[in-house]
Amino acid sequence: MSGATHMGDAASYAARVARHVPGLKDLHRMAGLLLAERVPEAGRVLVLGAGGGLELRAFARAYPGWRFDGVDPSAGMIRQARDTLGQDDDRVTFHQGYIDDAPEGPFDGATCLLTLHFLPREERLRTLRQLHRRLRPAALFVMAHHSFPQADGLQDLWLRRNAAWLVSGGVPEAQAMAGMATMKERLPVLAPEEDAALLAAAGFREVQLFYAALTFKGWIAWA
């Protein structure tokens, strides 16, 4: 596949994710600012779920002294990340796989954005524990993904709200509703209080919510 085609794929991916995630660029900017509270000028940051490269590009441009290890199971998404990064590609070492394929560190900070909602509870907890042990003491971790109430009809309510957001942004209603049905069937989404509890169970402390946008939530915590 040609480089031009790769770039087209990367641009298409970026537009699609931005359409689905309210305030995506602001989420990346906030994540970088929060990391910068503890990551030194020449720090090393672990990015779990780095395929596509959108947060890596935002971090690399804002913090020119940082170096990154990006982990993702998809070779195709890693290629897109490289295209997205452009000249900053040499500041990232990519690892195809999951958390067990990440270097031991220790890292000065870490992120996992729009990824953990794919993992069932026990695998999510195991991943968080493995991530925690790769961080320096008191390093900052930033995570964000789908997380919304799951009981008493609230799950369907929030999924309808998510669909309405997509429709308001130009997604055909039938497509948006089909996407919500797929999410309900396939994603092991947890309620926000469960996600926060998993961070604590994995050894993180000072768990704080920093981002809430319809079905998406984001937290920071210290190792």
Amino acid 11: pLDDT: 56
Residue 153 and residue 111 share a domain: no
- Here the tokens at position 65 are 């002294």
Confidence band (pLDDT; 50, 70, 90) for 220? very high
Domain count, the chain: 2
CATH number where 72 lies: 3.40.50.150
Residue 172 and residue 71 share a domain: no
Confidence band (pLDDT; 50, 70, 90) for 86? very high
Residue 94 and residue 175 share a domain: no
Residue 139 and residue 40 share a domain: yes
Residue 202 and residue 109 share a domain: yes
Q: Is the pLDDT of residue 44 over 90?
A: yes
Q: Would you state the torsion angle of the CA atoms of residues 17, 144, 220, 24, taken in this order, to the nearest 10 degrees? A: 20
Per residue in 90-110, pLDDT (tens digit) is: 999 999 999 999 999 999 999
Residue 82 and residue 172 share a domain: no
> What is the mean predicted confidence (pLDDT) over 171-183?
90
Residue 163 and residue 78 share a domain: no
Residue 99 and residue 201 share a domain: yes
Residue 204 and residue 140 share a domain: yes
Residue 139 and residue 82 share a domain: yes
Residue 197 and residue 93 share a domain: yes
Residues 6+ apart with CB under 8 A from 74: 51, 96
If 0-12 CB within 10 Å is exposed, 13-18 middle and 19+ buried, where does residue 168 land? exposed
> Strands 107-113, 135-146: parallel, antiparallel or unpaired by DSSP?
parallel
Residue 118 and residue 158 share a domain: no
Averaged pLDDT of the chain: 92
User: Taking the alpha carbons of 161, 163, 28, 68 in that order, is the dihedral positive or negative?
Assistant: positive
Enclosing domain of residue 140: 3-144+192-222
Residues 6+ apart with CB under 8 A from 181: none
CB contact at 8 A, 27 and 54:
no
Amino acid 3: pLDDT: 36
